[in-house]
Amino acid sequence: MKGKILVTGGTGYIGSHTVVELQNAGYEVVIIDDLSNSTKDSIGGIERITGQKPIFYQMDCNDLNELNRVFEENKDIRGIIHFAASKAVGESVQKPLLYYRNNLNSLLNLLDMMQQHAVENIVFSSSCTVYGEPDQNPIDETAPIKPAESPYGNTKQINEEIIRDIVRSGANVRSIILRYFNPVGAHPSAEIGELPNGVPQNLVPFITQTAIGVREQLSVFGDDYNTPDGSCVRDFINVVDLAKAHVEAIDRMLAKKADEKVEVFNLGTGNGVSVLQLINIFEKVSETKLNYKIVGRREGDIEKIWAEPKKANTVLGWTAKENIEDTMLSAWKWQLKLREKGIM
């Protein structure tokens, strides 16, 4: 084994896919998750894919005593990947205190534990949302950080600053900050995938749930943007590709390859795809006709944003490989599996 990695939020969408890739790469994994936005089924799915059952603690990173117990019981943790956070943009506007308390406090607790237990490495799950509406696309890591458009986005910005400040204080901490664009799709085995609680906030689960009949109709939030077909443009990145970037980041930190103690990477394909284009791609690969209608814009939506992934490609040694057609098909196969299991 290459060592033990702690993954917070490891039963969640991106977390579970990352656990699979860590295990495939030879790491032993400890998951902390409070199951507030996922279920233990993910652990079964992970085990069916890799044959390895991760160590699992059902707990909240905000519970410092419980968190300390994990580190006491796993003294060989070599690094952390921190996913656990509340992440619905719209909900964060309605419940700012929940977002600031959960998202900031959980990171502060982890950084405390790292110092108490001499764990040096943390990969932080951030988001392209920190850039706001880009002045130009594609957008690279030197682009200015804009005032956050939501408490969710603000917690990502503040957490990045907390990490920089603790490193600047001379603490024995190194971090790689990964700014995701739009993670979509599911593991090709259809054993794990995206399963948001309640009505999906994000586009792709809403598409697949509409196609399978769980949702009546998809609302497309605006087609009057300054884009080729009027709908918003995003950089949709396959979740397995995204997971593999986390393994590269852990490998890089354990090998102490970087001079800087905090590195930032944009994780995207570098291709902008519009909402309407994505719907057409989905209809083609799923051989279904999607019931959707154009409605008004959604408050806070960015018009267009896609990544310049050159730094991740050259420095991290990672490149997104999956094409959008196969990615949308993987999302559909996952939805069909959920139906087959009677889950949705």
Give the nearer residue to ligand WQD in terms of CB position, either 89 or 114: 89
* Cα(206)–Cα(231) distance, integer angstroms: 16
Range in contact with ligand WQD (rule: CB under 6 A) among 37-45, 67-75, 195-203, 239-247 = 195-203
* Least separation in angstroms between CB 232 and ligand WQD: 3
Give the nearer residue to ligand WQD in terms of CB position, either 119 or 278: 278
Among 189, 219, 288, 313, binds ligand WQD (CB under 6 A): 219
Kindly report whether the peptide bond that precedes residue 228 is cis, defined as omega within 30 degrees of 0.
no
* Cα(49)–Cα(55) distance, integer angstroms: 16
What is the C-alpha end-to-end distance of the chain, expressed in Å? 37
Contact track, ligand WQD, 109-128, x by CB under 6 A = ------------------x-
Determine how many CB atoms are found less than 10 A away from the CB of residue 237: 28
Amino acid at the residue 109: N
290 interacts with ligand WQD by CB under 6 A? no
Pick from 266, 301, 294, 296: which is nearest to 279 by CA?
Answer: 294
208 interacts with ligand WQD by CB under 6 A? no
* Least separation in angstroms between CB 92 and ligand WQD: 10
70 interacts with ligand WQD by CB under 6 A? no
87 interacts with ligand WQD by CB under 6 A? yes
Cα three-residue angle 180-31-268, rounded to 5 degrees:
10
Which residues are identified as catalytic?
A: 152
* Least separation in angstroms between CB 286 and ligand WQD: 17
220 interacts with ligand WQD by CB under 6 A? yes
Number of chain positions touching ligand WQD (CB under 6 A):
19
* Cα(73)–Cα(88) distance, integer angstroms: 32
Phi and psi, residue 83, nearest 5°:
-100, -30
Range in contact with ligand WQD (rule: CB under 6 A) among 26-34, 67-75, 200-208, 318-326 = 200-208
Among 24, 52, 68, 201, binds ligand WQD (CB under 6 A): 201
Residues that bind ligand WQD (CB under 6 A): 87, 89, 127, 129, 180, 182, 201-203, 206, 218-221, 232, 234, 275, 298, 301
